[in-house]
């Protein structure tokens, strides 16, 4: 068994001598010059010479640190002692942030933020990172048009330099932790702050962060949580960028009603009966006479539940930026609860389809090849908007109180005023009287939607490439666009897009279609029958050139007598 090595500690007297005295001392002691120094001795000597001399304050500070006794954190909090600062990180080490904190970072330098700002795979925890998610349909980059309209009227949004703004922004960025640990206090927020908080969640929160459970926590009633402000006086529900897998339009339909509490007599005013589904029917017993059967049916209790609306005073709803979770069948199903809406935002919704997954699918029969869905793949190229116009007509029957409609970023404007006569195939069939249609397939602008006075048809971006605009054929819209680019203000900078070339030509074509839709709506309103005609509708295209002042001809002045 090997013997353990025991280090030998020897205390030697320091033999450091200043270079100026080394030669004289060595000569006096040994009587002659010594040998040359080794490399290690020379390095040690240089380190001793370059070390600064310790001052009295430095000695006291080192002595205090060495002799000070540490106090446990628990006792430190009890004795109300000041916390000791953590030791600074070592030189050359890199602090990790985000969900990878504590784990070993990947080798190499950190990824520059300039690389991540243009990547759609950038993590959400990077502070100060503003990705342009609107182009990819991932979410909004600013408040929606309905939120800005609501703020103009009611002044809901706080100042960007206020504490409320930074608090709500922090709440939105840490929503998952907030709703988990502060769920008993969120329901006590004032209703104006709840409206603003939903807008901040869509803008600053993580992608699709809302869930059905979060809505129940935020809008709990007085019976569920003490001190809750409820949702009875809620007027604006901003779900911009919040629709997703965890909170879909079907979940919104369930959120618009709540079970009736029999102890609250105020809920009896707005009650409704919803029959239970899935209950097995009891076997019918044969009775001797019809009178006995009628008496038995009256004495049987109804298997039904009573429910009241969750937002009885809701008049403004924003469903903008739904992404791939937009569903027109679900929207038509929930529209029966939206008959009191006056403001609705469907910004960046896709083309209305009942079966969007069957657009490219067709079926073959002995009579020919037909599209499986309501519209085929080339319906837009063929100017066939029959299914889209039918869906909008069904939607208008339920939202007959609308006065403000936002369709920003939608490219199906022609379905608003589409007529069967615009389709050459339908026009050939309409020669017979029994084939011709007596009503418009789209929404009736003098009927259900006769109260709409504002319609937003902004495409979401405006081209700023002047050479591409100047190469377009001469027309009124290119000339007005160039004038607007010369007169724009700083508030309109967010509207300008980087697209050039062919995309500018496509934008110009859609703008011409939007202008035609505006003309058709005004014409329908003007030619309406007396007593059944709508009011004047203002169509917003996102940009409007300044009106030119009228030229006043000089008049000849006449002098008396």
DSSP string, 360-422: T-EEEETTEEEESSSS-TTTTTTT--HHHHHHHHHHHHH-TT--EEE-TT-S-GGGGS--GGG
> What pLDDT sits at residue 278?
46
Full pLDDT tens readout for the chain, 561 residues = 566 777 666 665 666 666 655 555 445 555 555 678 899 998 988 888 887 777 788 788 778 777 777 788 888 888 887 776 766 666 655 555 544 455 676 788 877 766 766 666 666 555 444 444 444 445 677 889 999 999 999 999 999 999 999 999 999 999 999 999 998 899 999 999 999 999 999 999 888 889 999 999 999 887 777 888 888 899 999 999 999 889 999 999 999 987 765 545 455 555 555 544 444 454 556 656 666 665 655 554 444 457 788 899 999 999 999 988 999 999 999 999 999 999 999 999 999 998 887 777 777 777 666 666 777 777 878 888 889 999 999 999 999 999 999 999 999 999 999 886 644 434 444 444 444 444 568 898 998 999 999 999 999 889 888 888 888 887 888 888 888 888 887 778 888 887 777 788 889 999 999 999 999 999 998 887 666 777 889 999 998 876 555 555 555 444 444
DSSP string for residues in 60-77:
HHHHHHHHPPP--HHHHH
DSSP H helices in 219-371? 249-255, 290-299, 328-334
Residues 252, 326: Cα–Cα separation, whole Å: 13
Neighbour-count burial of 561, counting CB atoms closer than 10 A to its CB (0-12 exposed, 13-18 middle, 19+ buried) = exposed
Strand partners, 497: 463
Q: How many CB atoms within 10 Å of residue 6?
A: 6
Residues 63, 199: Cα–Cα separation, whole Å: 57
Find out whether 247 and 322 touch, Cβ atoms under 8 Å: no
> What pLDDT sits at residue 288?
66
Residues 14, 24: Cα–Cα separation, whole Å: 18
Question: 332-336: which pairs have CB atoms within 8 A and are 24 or more residues apart?
Answer: 332/391, 332/394, 332/395, 332/398, 333/249, 333/250, 333/253, 334/249, 334/250, 334/252, 334/253, 334/256, 335/394, 335/395, 335/398, 335/399, 336/398
Tokens of 189: 């927020």
Number of H helices, E strands in the chain: 18, 13
Residues 554, 561: Cα–Cα separation, whole Å: 22
Find out whether 260 and 340 touch, Cβ atoms under 8 Å: no
Q: How many CB atoms within 10 Å of residue 492?
A: 14
DSSP code at position 439: S
Find out whether 391 and 410 touch, Cβ atoms under 8 Å: no
408: phi then psi, degrees, rounded to nearest 5: -65, 140
> What pLDDT sits at residue 140?
77
């Amino acid at each position: 068994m090997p013997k353990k090595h025991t280090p030998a500690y020897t205390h030697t007297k320091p033999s450091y001598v200043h270079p100026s005295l080394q030669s004289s001392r060595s000569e006096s002691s040994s009587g002659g010059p010594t040998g040359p120094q080794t490399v290690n001795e020379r390095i040690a000597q240089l380190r001793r010479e370059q070390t600064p001399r310790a001052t009295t304050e430095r000695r006291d500070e080192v002595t205090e640190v060495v002799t000070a006794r540490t106090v446990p954190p628990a006792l430190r909090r009890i004795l109300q002692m000041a916390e000791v600062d953590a030791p600074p990180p070592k030189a050359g080490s890199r602090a990790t942030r985000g969900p990878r904190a504590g784990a070993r970072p990947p080798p190499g330098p950190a990824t520059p933020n300039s690389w991540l700002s243009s990547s759609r795979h950038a993590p959400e925890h990077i502070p100060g990172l503003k990705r342009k998610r609107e182009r990819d349909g991932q979410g909004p980059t600013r408040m929606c048009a309905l939120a800005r309209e609501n703020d103009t009227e009611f002044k809901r949004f706080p100042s960007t330099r206020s504490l409320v703004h930074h608090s709500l922004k922090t709440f939105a960025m840490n929503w998952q932790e907030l709703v988990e640990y502060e769920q008993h206090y969120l329901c006590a927020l004032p209703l104006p702050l709840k409206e603003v908080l939903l807008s901040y969640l869509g803008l600053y929160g993580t992608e699709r962060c809302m869930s059905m459970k979060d809505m129940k926590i935020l809008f709990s009633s007085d019976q569920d949580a003490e001190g809750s402000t409820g949702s009875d006086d809620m007027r604006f529900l901003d779900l911009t960028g919040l629709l997703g897998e965890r909170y879909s339009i079907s979940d919104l339909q369930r959120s618009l009603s709540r079970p009736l509490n029999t102890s609250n007599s105020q809920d009896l005013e707005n009650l409704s009966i919803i029959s239970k589904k899935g209950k097995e029917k009891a076997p019918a017993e044969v009775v001797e006479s019809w009178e006995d059967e009628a008496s038995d049916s009256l004495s049987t209790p109804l298997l039904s539940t009573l429910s009241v609306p969750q937002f009885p005073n809701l008049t403004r709803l924003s469903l903008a930026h739904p992404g791939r979770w937009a569903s027109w069948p679900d929207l038509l199903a929930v529209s029966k609860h939206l008959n009191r809406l006056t403001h609705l935002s469907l910004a960046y919704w896709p083309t209305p389809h009942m079966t969007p997954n069957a657009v490219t699918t067709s079926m073959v029969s002995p009579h020919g090849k037909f599209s499986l869905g309501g519209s085929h793949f080339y319906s837009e190229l063929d100017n066939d908007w029959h299914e889209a116009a039918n869906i909008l007509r069904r939607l208008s029957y339920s939202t007959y109180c609308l006065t403000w409609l936002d369709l920003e970023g939608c490219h199906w404007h022609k379905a608003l005023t589409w007529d069967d006569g615009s389709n050459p195939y339908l026009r050939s069939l309409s020669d017979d009287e029994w084939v011709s249609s007596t009503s418009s397939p789209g929404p009736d602008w003098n009927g259900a939607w006769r109260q709409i006075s504002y319609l937003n048809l902004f495409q979401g971006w405006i081209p700023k490439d002047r050479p591409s605009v100047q190469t377009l054929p001469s027309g009124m819209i290119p000339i007005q666009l160039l004038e607007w680019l010369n007169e724009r203000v700083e508030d309109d900078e967010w509207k300008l897009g980087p697209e050039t070339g062919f995309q500018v030509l496509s934008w110009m074509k859609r703008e011409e279609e939007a202008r035609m839709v505006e003309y058709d709506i005004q014409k329908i309103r003007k030619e309406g029958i007396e007593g059944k005609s709508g009011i004047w509708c203002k169509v917003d295209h996102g940009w409007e050139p300044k009106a030119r002042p009228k030229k006043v001809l000089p008049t000849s002045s006449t002098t008396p007598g």
